[in-house]
Amino acid sequence: MFMKKYAITVNDQNTIEIEKEQVNNLDMIQQPDGTYHLLYENESYRIKVLEQDAGNKHLKLLVNGQAYHLKIEDEYDQLVRQLGLEVVNTQKVNEIKAPMPGLVLEVNVEVGQTIAKGDPLLILEAMKMENVIKSAGDGVVEEILIEKGAAVEKGALLIKLA
């Protein structure tokens, strides 16, 4: 049975849990200027949505003049977190290896260069096809172990990252 609660993290510090039923029963009215008026526990709040990212369940609100960043988890998000199945957004890569035997046609990076996931690192020709080898994560080029025109075997270390 899933929890019927939202876990709301405010400003990456405090997490509050609120029942879904409580959210559905909030006394909140949208105003003509796009802001919201909320009555909660005999207190009045004026809320303006500054930013909204529905896909990632993030909100930035201005509540009575004070800015708040909210990260909202529904019961499925909470279950995924409890099971340790979160997806890591960025990953650090230490080595770039040849995915196949081939000939290095071009090296697109230099020692000391900062790279991000998806950046093209080199072009490897294999079976008369040019394959762009891209970074699988973020890092800084520490050492380039191949040069243009070199033949490499599958699994050969091509580039070391720091």
Q: How confident is the model at residue 29 (pLDDT cuts 50, 70, 90)?
A: very high
What is d(CA 124, CA 152) in angstroms, rounded to the nearest whole number? Answer: 9
Q: What is the pTM for the complete model shown?
A: 0.48
2 φ, ψ (degrees, to nearest 5): -75, 150
Q: How confident is the model at residue 3 (pLDDT cuts 50, 70, 90)?
A: low
For the stretch 50-64, pLDDT in tens is 988 877 788 899 999
The two counts, helices (H) then strands (E), for the chain are 2, 15
Residue 153 has pLDDT above 90, yes or no: yes
Q: What is the pLDDT of residue 145?
A: 95
For the stretch 117-146, pLDDT in tens is 889 999 999 888 888 898 888 889 999 999
Domains for the chain: give ranges and CATH numbers: 5-82 (no CATH), 95-161 (2.40.50.100)
